[in-house]
Structure 1
C-alpha cells in the first residue's frame, strides 16, 4: 500500500464505528469517501469533515458498490483503503435463535452484512489489483467465533463468521497482488446499533464477565484505532488477521 499520508480511504457506514474511523483517518491526513444510505448521517459527517466525499447509496442494491468505488476514483483518482463497516443486527427483521429465525430475517442480515462486504471488496479489488497495492479491513464480530446464549441472533453470528472466512480467503489469494486483507472483531460497543443492549441491566452485568478488561461496553474509538492500524502501513506486514477488540471476550473464563 502507498506509504503517503494522503492515501484515499473509502468507508462504508456513516455512524458509530464508521464515523469514528472517518474522524481518525481524517486526522491522520487521509483523503476520505463515505457511502451510507442515510442522508442525515452523511450531512452530519459533511458538517464535521468538509473535505469528505459523501455517497448516498443502499449497498444492498445491485450496482451500488460499483458506483461508490467509481465515484471515489472519479474524485481522487485512486483507492488505497477500503473499510467495510455497514451492518445490521436483524432482530427487527426476524433474526433470532435458529428455530425461530425467519427466512426474511436471514436474508436481510446476510444481504446487509455479508453480501455488501463481498460487493464492496469485489469493486475495490479491481483498482487495487491494477495498482498492485491496497488494504481492506472488514468488520466481523466476536459472535462469529465466540458465541453467547445471551445474544441469540444466529443469522447475525453466521454473517459475521462468513466475513471472517471471506477475509482470510481473500488475504491468502491477494498476497501476490500486494493487497492486505484483515478484519476487526468488536465485542459489545456503544453505537446506535446497540442502544437496546446499553439500557438492558442483564447485558450491563454480563459485560463484567464477558468483557472483563473494563467490565463495560467498548467505545467506537476503540474499534476505530484498531481499524486505522490494520488499514495503514503501520500494519504493513499484517494480512489475514482478525483483531479482536472486545475487552477480553474471547479469553474470558
Structure 2
C-alpha cells in the first residue's frame, strides 16, 4: 500500500468531465500524484490540449471523447483505459451540469430532463461499466461528484438538488453492494467552486458572489484544485477504509 511520495503512483484512473473546471484540475492533481489518466469529455479540442500539457510535464495521459449519457461512449472510455493501461484502478465521475435558477413551478420538462439525465443517468452509466471492469481486476475506487446541493436545499434549483441527492443515493447503494468485492465508492460534495460558469455568473450577478461568500464560513469560493485534492485522496489507498462516505468540500457551508 502506497504511503509515501506520490500516493496515486501507478494507478490507472478515468476522469469524466475532464475538459474544464474540477475535472481538468483533477487531471493535473492526479498526475502530479503519479496516476496514469484517461480523460473523458465531449469537447475534444480541450481534451487534446490538456493531454498535451500533461504529457509535456512527463505524465502518462490520454483522452477519449465521451458523452456520459450514451452507454456506448462510457463503455468505450472504460475499454480505452484497460487497453492503454492494463486495468482500471480508480474513477472520478465528475461530469455534470448545473442549470438556470428558476422557481420549481415555472420549470419546464426540458430543464428537468437535461439535469437529471446528465447528473444521474450519467453517473449510473459510469458506475455500471466501471464496476464491471474493476471486478475483472480485483477491485478499485470510485468517487462521484455530488454537491452541497445533495445535502441541503437551495432555492430555485429543485431538479439540480434532486439530481445531486440521487448521486449520493447511488454512491451509498454501490458502496454497500460491492464493498466485499474490493470496490470502494464515495462522493464529494463541493460548495461554490471557481469555474467558467461560476465566474460568468458572478460577473453578471455580483450579488451572487456576496451571497455565496456570506454563506460560507471561510468566506470565499473554492479553487477547483482544492476539490480535486479531496477526490484524489478518496481514490488512493490512503482512504482504504472509507466507503459510502460523502465528503463536503465546502469551506464549512453545510455546518453554517
TM-score between the two structures when normalised by the length of structure 1: 0.92
1:25 counterpart = 2:34: no
Measured against aligned partners, the alpha-carbon deviations of 1:164-218 in whole angstroms (never above 9, x if no partner) come to 01101111111111110000000100012323332222112113331112x1111
Gaps of 5+ in 1: none
1:85 aligned residue:
94
SS at match of 1:218: coil
Residue correspondence of structure 1 range 1-253 to structure 2 within 5 A: 5-13=9-17, 14-50=19-55, 51-91=60-100, 96-149=102-155, 152-199=156-203, 200-213=205-218, 215-252=219-256
SS at match of 2:64: strand
Q: Distance in 2 between matches of 1:96 and 1:155?
A: 10
Q: Distance in 2 between matches of 1:170 and 1:79?
A: 17
SS at match of 2:186: strand
Structure 1 residue 19, shift from structure 2 partner: 0.8
Q: Which moved more, 1:19-28 or 1:199-208?
A: 199-208
Q: Distance in 1 between matches of 2:79 and 2:71?
A: 14
CA RMSD of aligned residues (A): 1.6
Gaps of 5+ in 2: none
Structure 1 residue 105, shift from structure 2 partner: 0.8
Any conservation in 2 of the 1:101–1:155 contact (CA below 8 Å)?
no
Structure 1 residue 4, shift from structure 2 partner: 6.9
Q: Distance in 1 between matches of 2:197 and 2:8?
A: 34
Q: Distance in 2 between matches of 1:97 and 1:145?
A: 19
Any conservation in 2 of the 1:96–1:155 contact (CA below 8 Å)?
no
Q: Tell me the matched-pair count.
A: 246
Q: Distance in 2 between matches of 1:143 and 1:196?
A: 20
Q: Which moved more, 1:33-42 or 1:1-10?
A: 1-10
